[in-house]
Structure formats: structure tokens, C-alpha cells
Amino acid sequence: MSTGDLIGIFRDAIFTGMKVAGPILLISMLVGLIISIIQAATSINEQTMTFVPKLIITALMMIIAGGWMLQQMMDLVFRIFELIATKI
């Protein structure tokens, strides 16, 4: 296995990680921003007000997009195994 193959695997793994984690992180950031704006407008500084909605929206995103996320990760593993099989 050459250095180029390893760089390709790492690049593919990082891209897949960003693709899988991106939707959850973006939704969580958006919910946190909305709650922070509400807290700033009402002068309520309670930490659990941001934690609970983020937890709920993250769980919902895992339920909604979990199958797609798992499929993306499985595709990465299959590509790595195919690369290993062709190099042996």
C-alpha cells in the first residue's frame, strides 16, 4: 500500500466524518443560537435551557438521519476493505 493510498483513505475518512457529523452539529448550533437570542432578550441565564433542547434535537436527528449516517460509515468501511483486498 502506497503513501497515496493512505492519504486517500484518511481524506475519505475525514470527509465522511464531516458529512456524518455535519447535520447534527449544524442543527445543534442553530438551536443553541436561537435559545441564546431568547435568553439575551429576556435576561434569563439558565444553562439547562440550552442543554435540554439541544439534547432533544440531537436525539431526533439521530432517529431521522441515523440510517443514512450508518450507511455512509458502512460505505467507507467497505471501500477500505476493497482497497485492502486489491493490494494483497
- 51-70 per-position pLDDT tens digit: 898 999 999 999 999 999 99
| Radius of gyration over every alpha carbon of the chain, rounded to an integer in angstroms | 19
- 42-51 per-position pLDDT tens digit: 888 887 788 8
Q: Cα(9)–Cα(1) distance, rounded to whole angstroms? A: 11
Domain span holding position 63: 3-87
- 21-50 per-position pLDDT tens digit: 999 999 999 999 999 899 889 888 887 788
Q: Which of 10, 22, 28, 14 is nearest to 68 (CA)?
A: 22
Q: Judge whether 62 and 24 are in contact, CB under 8 Å.
A: yes
Domain count, the chain: 1
